[in-house]
A and B are shown apart, each in its own frame.
Chain A
Amino acid sequence: MSDWVEACAAGDIDEEDVMRFDHGGRTFAIYRSPDDDYFATDGLCTHEKVHLADGLVMDDIIECPKHNGRFNYKTGDARGAPVCVNLRTYPVRVDAGKVLIQVG
């Protein structure tokens, strides 16, 4: 499987921020870390299906905008109540200024 799809331009996301990306009827969240690395996870919180792209990125953490549930967006690990289920992560690469994620 090599379902790499172009999500956005690298410059579309500010450092330490997140952006929503919809593809094939699914929704993803693309992150740019403070170290200028890119990551991707499922776009909806595992607690109540709220878009994480409206949340806050702090270091390695994405905080859900509805109930402040926290995940490590690099590993997908849930970091305590009210989130109990980990977030699925996806491989990301930056190629010629474009952010690509492997959605398969």
Chain B
Amino acid sequence: MSTTPSRRDYSLIGRDAKLAVETGLSAAEWYHTDIPRKQMKELMQRSDGPAIRDTIIWLAALILSGAGAAWFWGTWWCVPFFFVYGVLYGSSTDSRWHECGHGTAFRTQWMNDVIYQIACFMIMRNPVTWRWSHTRHHTDTIIVGRDPEISVMRPPDLVRVVLAFVGVLDAWHAMSDMLRNAAGNISAAEKTFIPEQEQPRAIRFARIWTAIYAATIALALYTGSFLPLMLVGLPRLYGAWHHVMVGLLQHGGLADNVTDHRLNSRTVYMNQISRFIYWNMNYHVEHHMFPMVPYHALPKLHELVKHDLPAPTPSILAGYREMIPAFLRQLRNEDYFLKRELPPTARPYREEFHNDAVAAAE
């Protein structure tokens, strides 16, 4: 859908990457709402309880829906079971990867590590590569040329956005990267954020995964059934829609190249089921401002800081109602973005820093 060449260079080894480092936009000091240390300590406290409870529910639902899908395989009755299984496999693992990667879901670190590995496999994200890419995402959130996790670049490629809902391109890239890494090749872009001593581990995981997928394909061929692939691998496609639906709202249509998460991230109120699947990452401004706060404490954090944040988007639908027109407008003017209005109780944006971007967006 893009018709004009972008003025932004999203390559991690390109012009804008160098510029961001030279101008101090990379690794900058970001805005934080003031919270007394005592309250912050309480919010940061770790606990195994909530994540153990949620993980038992998640795994039980995953096993039951997978068993039901296999039991009814060959009849239409398998469809609702695959619907549930797919979302649990191909969407809820996005948030499990995320929270356990931060090490905040459980207090006990090995529990974070185990769920992280399982989730990484299901969501098809190399556990080493993606740990480091997400570290960069938090250092340089939506900084062009620095953030490797910008899901919608400008001008937006709307075909790519739509395909993301069925995971086609993600899975294709994940498989290509896995095979490339398994062959011992770390790309130039990956080398910009994965330290040299960690790169062999990325290769080792890619080889283990390649073996698992090869075994799954062999089983499918041996049994003459598609079922093994419907249970391992393909759910990343047919179950991806939920994590893409909520994930696009994190930063979609908002500012880039700013150092205030209130301008480039979006908090959205959601239903309880989506919040369970998403592990409360709908409180996304709060998460970026204070990544130490576990998912189960984000609603409390939200109550504490909302006086200093733009009004939350009231629903997923409302988020899309503002985001899609912004994407369409960015096709004509890629500098356009939705500037979040602050409440009167908030500390203002650093206008001297952000005014140029606002003027370009007009």
Among candidates B41, B46, B139, residue contacting A67 with C-beta atoms closer than 8 Å = B139
- The yes or no answer to B253 lying at the interface (CB within 8 A) is no
- Mask of B31-52 contacts with A, CB within 8 angstroms, 1/0: 0000000001100111000000
Among candidates A14, A48, A56, A81, residue contacting B292 with C-beta atoms closer than 8 Å = A56
Among candidates A48, A63, A84, residue contacting B195 with C-beta atoms closer than 8 Å = A84
Identify which of residues 36-62 in chain A touch chain B, using a CB-to-CB cut-off of 8 Å. Answer: 48, 54-56, 58
- Kindly provide the distance from the CB of A69 to the nearest chain B CB, expressed in whole angstroms: 9
Closest chain B residue, CB of each to CB of A19: B37
Supposing A55-B292, A68-B291 touch, asked if A63 and B197 sit within 8 A by C-beta, the answer is: no
A48 CA / B46 CA spacing, docked (Å) = 23
Residues of B contacting A: mostly: helix
A68 CA / B132 CA spacing, docked (Å) = 12
Q: Which residues of B contact A32 (CB under 8 A)?
A: none
A67 touches B291 (CB 8 A): yes
Closest chain B residue, CB of each to CB of A67: B135
- The yes or no answer to A17 lying at the interface (CB within 8 A) is yes
Q: Which residues of B contact A54 (CB under 8 A)?
A: 40
Q: Which residues of A contact B41 (CB under 8 A)?
A: 14, 17, 56
- Kindly provide the distance from the CB of A82 to the nearest chain B CB, expressed in whole angstroms: 4
Size of interface on B: residues with Cβ below 8 Å to A: 22
Closest chain A residue, CB of each to CB of B290: A65
Among candidates B103, B131, B138, B139, residue contacting A63 with C-beta atoms closer than 8 Å = B103
A63 touches B132 (CB 8 A): no
- Mask of A77-88 contacts with B, CB within 8 angstroms, 1/0: 000011010000
Supposing A48-B27, A81-B131 touch, asked if A67 and B44 sit within 8 A by C-beta, the answer is: no
Q: Which residues of A contact B102 (CB under 8 A)?
A: 68
B46 touches A58 (CB 8 A): yes
Among candidates A17, A66, A81, residue contacting B291 with C-beta atoms closer than 8 Å = A66
Q: Which residues of B contact A68 (CB under 8 A)?
A: 102-104, 291-292
A17 CA / B42 CA spacing, docked (Å) = 12
A48 CA / B44 CA spacing, docked (Å) = 20
- Kindly provide the distance from the CB of A1 to the nearest chain B CB, expressed in whole angstroms: 33
- Kindly provide the distance from the CB of B251 to the nearest chain A CB, expressed in whole angstroms: 18
Q: Which residues of B contact A65 (CB under 8 A)?
A: 290-292
- Kindly provide the distance from the CB of B95 to the nearest chain A CB, expressed in whole angstroms: 16
Q: Which residues of A contact B40 (CB under 8 A)?
A: 54
Identify which of residues 10-34 in chain A touch chain B, using a CB-to-CB cut-off of 8 Å. Answer: 14, 17
- The yes or no answer to A74 lying at the interface (CB within 8 A) is no
A84 touches B292 (CB 8 A): no
- The yes or no answer to B198 lying at the interface (CB within 8 A) is yes
A67 CA / B135 CA spacing, docked (Å) = 6
Supposing A56-B44, A58-B107, A68-B103 touch, asked if A81 and B139 sit within 8 A by C-beta, the answer is: no
20 contacts between A and B (CB under 8 A): A14-B41, A48-B27, A48-B139, A54-B40, A56-B41, A56-B44, A56-B46, A58-B107, A63-B292, A65-B290, A65-B291, A67-B291, A68-B102, A68-B104, A68-B292, A70-B103, A81-B128, A81-B135, A82-B132, A84-B195
* Residues of B participating in the A interface, judged by any CB pair closer than 8 Å: 27, 40-41, 44-46, 102-104, 107, 128, 131-132, 135, 138-139, 195, 197-198, 290-292
